[in-house]
Amino acid sequence: IAMGFIRKILIFITGYAWLLLLLGPGLIAMSVYSGWKAEGDHAYAAREKLTTVTGKVVEASEVTVKRRRSSSTKHYYQINVQPDAGGDVQKLRIDYSTPKVLVSALIDEKVTALVDKSDSDLVYEVSMGDKPLIPYETTKQRLVADAASSAKSLSGAGMWIFAIFLTLIGAAGVWSNRKLRAADEEAQAAAA
Per-residue pLDDT tens over the stretch 132-146: 888 888 888 888 887
Query: If pLDDT is split at 50, 70 and 90, which confidence band does 156 have?
Result: confident
pLDDT at 35 over 80: no
Q: For residue range 51-89, what is the model confidence (pLDDT) as tens digits?
A: 888 899 999 998 888 877 767 788 899 999 999 888 899
Query: If pLDDT is split at 50, 70 and 90, which confidence band does 168 have?
Result: very high
Distance in angstroms (rounded) separating the CA atoms of residues 187 and 34: 49
The pLDDT, as a whole number, for residue 91 is 93
Q: For residue range 49-58, what is the model confidence (pLDDT) as tens digits?
A: 888 888 999 9
| Residues 40-53, mean pLDDT to the nearest whole number | 78
Which residues are registered as beta bridge partners of 110?
56
Percentage, residues of the chain above pLDDT 90: 18
The pLDDT, as a whole number, for residue 40 is 64
The pLDDT, as a whole number, for residue 38 is 67
Residues 112, 130 contacting (CB under 8 angstroms): no
Distance in angstroms (rounded) separating the CA atoms of residues 160 and 155: 7
Residues 55, 83 contacting (CB under 8 angstroms): yes
Residues 11, 180 contacting (CB under 8 angstroms): yes
Distance in angstroms (rounded) separating the CA atoms of residues 146 and 159: 19
The pLDDT, as a whole number, for residue 64 is 86
Question: What amino acid is encoded at 165 in this protein?
Answer: F
Long-range Cβ contact pairs of 22-29 (< 8 A, separation 24 or more): 22/170, 23/163, 23/166, 23/170, 24/163, 24/164, 24/165, 24/166, 24/167, 24/168, 24/170, 25/163, 25/167, 27/154, 27/159, 27/162, 27/163, 27/166, 28/160, 28/163, 28/164
First-to-last alpha carbon distance for the chain, in angstroms, is: 14
The H helix count followed by the E strand count for the chain is 5, 6
| Residues 118-124, mean pLDDT to the nearest whole number | 83
The pLDDT, as a whole number, for residue 178 is 92
The pLDDT, as a whole number, for residue 1 is 60
Distance in angstroms (rounded) separating the CA atoms of residues 98 and 138: 10
Is the entire prediction scored with pTM above 0.95? no
Strands (E), 85-189: 90-95, 110-116, 122-128, 131-134
pLDDT at 155 over 80: no
